Amino acid sequence: MSCDNLRQQVEAMRAGARDQRSGAAQMLKEASSGRGKSADYLQAAKDYEEAAQHSENAAALYQQQLAACTSAPTSSKPPPIEHTVRESNTTAPSIIEVRWGDTFSSIAATITGDARKWRELYDPQNSHLENPDLIYAGSHFELVRQASGAQYLRLVEAQGGTPVATAGAAAKRAAAAPAAAAGLAQASRDEPDALVVGVLPNISAEKLMAQYEHMKHYLEALNTQKISISTSPNFKAFFESTMKGDYDLAVSAPHFARVAQLDRGLIPLVIYEPRINALLITPVDQSLGSAAELRGKVVAFANPQSLVAMYGLAWLGQQGLQPGKDFEVRGPRTDLGVGRMLLTGEATAAIMSNGEFRALPPEESARLKIADTIARIPNFVVLANPRLNRGLVARLKTQLKGFLANQDDGAAFATATGITAMSDVDEAQLRELDSYVEQTRRAMGIAK
C-alpha cells in the first residue's frame, strides 16, 4: 500500500469513526424519545460506539504504517510493480518479496492480470496470512502450485532464516498501537467469510444482476469476504427474506426498510440519491386532460406493492378516485408487462418509477410518455443485518459512500441505474415513511 493510500485509509477510518459517533448520538436521542424499546436503542448506541473505537484503532494502526512509510529512505522504496521472482527449477514455487507500496491485490495482479482476482490467490487456511490488508515490506510470499492446477500465495520465512511478518510478528510490530492490532484481529475473527447482498426485484432479474455485479466487484476488491448478489421472484418474497435475516446487506425499498428497522432492528447504512419520481405514464398518441378522465378506466402499476404505488394511490385519492370503485388496479402479468398493457389498450395509464420506466424495452418506452410527475419519494436504502460485526458494518458503510467515486465499477453502476450518490440516512427521511408503515405491514401480512 502506497503512502498516499495509507493516508487515504487514515482519513477514511477517521471519517467512519465520526459517522459512527453520530449514529450513537442519534440512538441515544431515540432512546430518550419514548418511541420503541429504549433498551434496544441503548444497545445500538453502544454498538455504534464500539464500531467508532474499532475505526479509531484502525486509523491508529494505519497512521503508524504511514509514519514508517514517509520516513523510509527513498532508495528503499523501489517501484511497487517490480517484484523479485526466482525459480530454482520448473516445479519450485516462485518467491516474491514485498516492497514498499505493495498490496496483496497488486502482487496477485502480477500473476492473475487483474487486481480484482486477488481472492484466487488467497487461501484463508493455507496462506498463513490472517488479514490480507496487512502485509509488510521485507516479507516474502511463495506461489504454491497444486496438482489440481489451483495456486495460492503463502507467507514464508525470509531468506537467511529471518522471520517475516506472520500474524504474531505483525502484532508485535504494532506494539505502539496494541489496541488497534487487537481490535482488527477481533473484528477479523468475528466477520463471516461471505456476504449475501439482497436486492429488491423492481426490474427484471437479468438487468438487476448486471447492475449489481459492479457493486460485487467493488466490495470484493476492498474486503476479504466473497460477495454474492441475490434477489427474489417478487416484492413479498424479498420482504420476507429481509425480515428473516437471509441477507447480510439488503438494498430495499424505503417503506420496507423502515419496517425492517423498526421490527427487526436492521441498520440503515446509506440511501440512494436522487429521490425517485413517481410517474403517470400514457401512450404518446393519447392525451389525458386530468386524472378525472381515469374514472372507469384501468390503471396499471409496475409493482403494486411498491412505495411508488402507495404514493400513486394516495395521489389518485386526492383527485377523488378510489381503487375498485372509480378505477381498476391491474398489475403486470408474466406474458404482458405494463408497457404492453398501455400499448395494447388494456390499460389507459400506468404508475411507475423513473427506474422502472427506464427499464422498459426501448421499442415500448419510445411509444410512451410521462404525462405527469406525481411525487418525489425517498430512494432505496441499504440495510445491514444486526448480526454483523459492528466494525464490518462501519467499514461497509464507508465503502458504499465512496462507491460511485470509483472510476470503474462505480461509474458503470451510476450510468446503468441513474444513481448519483449514496448518502447518510437522515432520520427525518425515515420518519417521512412512518405514515406508510402500517399499510406496508398489512400488505405484507404482518399487521400488528
Q: For residue 423, what are the contacts with CB-CB under 8 A and spacing of at least 6?
A: 270, 271, 273, 401
Q: Which helix (H) or strand (E) holds 397?
A: helix 390-401
Q: Are 144 and 201 part of one and the same domain? A: no
Q: Kindly report the number of other CB atoms within 10 A of residue 285's CB atom.
A: 9
Kindly report whether the peptide bond that precedes residue 274 is cis, defined as omega within 30 degrees of 0.
Answer: yes
- Residue 217 has phi, psi (to 5 degrees) of -60, -45
183 assigned to some structural domain: no
- Sign, CA torsion 242/247/252/254: positive
328 assigned to some structural domain: yes
pLDDT of residue 288: 86
pLDDT block averages, 10 residues each, the chain of length 448: 68 72 75 70 70 67 72 49 36 61 73 76 84 71 84 67 33 36 46 93 90 96 93 92 96 94 93 92 90 92 85 90 92 81 92 87 91 90 93 91 93 93 88 87 82
How far is residue 346's CA from residue 327's CA, in Å, rounded to a whole number? Answer: 13
Query: Bridge-partner residues for 372, per DSSP?
Result: 280
Q: Are 366 and 283 part of one and the same domain? A: yes
What is the residue whose three cell numbers read 506494539? 175
185 assigned to some structural domain: no
pLDDT of residue 18: 78
Residue 175 cell numbers, joined: 506494539
Residue that terminates a domain, selected from 358, 377, 396: 377
337-340 contacts at long range (C-beta below 8 A, 24 or more positions apart): 337/364, 338/281, 338/300, 338/301, 338/302, 339/364, 339/365, 339/368, 340/364
Indicate the pTM of the whole model. 0.55
Overall domain count for the chain: 4
Residue 176 cell numbers, joined: 505502539
Q: Are 260 and 395 part of one and the same domain? A: yes
Residue that terminates a domain, selected from 173, 201, 223: 173
Q: Are 42 and 129 part of one and the same domain? A: no
Provide the residue range defining the domain that includes 67: 3-71
332 assigned to some structural domain: yes
Residue that terminates a domain, selected from 332, 353, 377: 377
Q: Are 148 and 285 part of one and the same domain? A: no
Q: What is the 3-state secondary structure (H, E, C) of 398-434?
A: HHHHCHHHCCCHHHHHHHHHCCCEEEECCHHHHHCCH
List Cα–Cα distances, 408 to 159, 273, 343, 387, in angstroms. 39, 19, 38, 31
Q: Are 296 and 354 part of one and the same domain? A: yes
How far is residue 394's CA from residue 161's CA, in Å, rounded to a whole number? Answer: 40
Q: Are 389 and 269 part of one and the same domain? A: yes
184 assigned to some structural domain: no
Q: For residue 259, what are the contacts with CB-CB under 8 A and spacing of at least 6?
A: 239, 243, 437, 440, 441, 444, 446
Helix, coil or strand: residue 93:
coil
Amino acid at the residue 345? G
Q: Are 116 and 228 part of one and the same domain? A: no
187 assigned to some structural domain: no
Q: Are 125 and 57 part of one and the same domain? A: no
Q: Are 161 and 200 part of one and the same domain? A: no
Q: Are 372 and 280 part of one and the same domain? A: yes
Question: Would you call 310 exposed, middle or buried from its count of C-beta atoms within 10 A (0-12, 13-18, 19+)?
Answer: buried
Q: For residue 420, what are the contacts with CB-CB under 8 A and spacing of at least 6?
A: 273, 274, 404, 414
Q: What is the DSSP string of 325-392?
A: TTBEEE--BTTB-HHHHHHTTS-SEEEEEHHHHHTS-HHHHTTEEEEEEEEEE---EEEE-TTS-HHH
- Sign, CA torsion 386/391/394/396: negative
How far is residue 448's CA from residue 441's CA, in Å, rounded to a whole number? Answer: 8
Domain CATH number, residue 410? 3.40.190.10
178 assigned to some structural domain: no
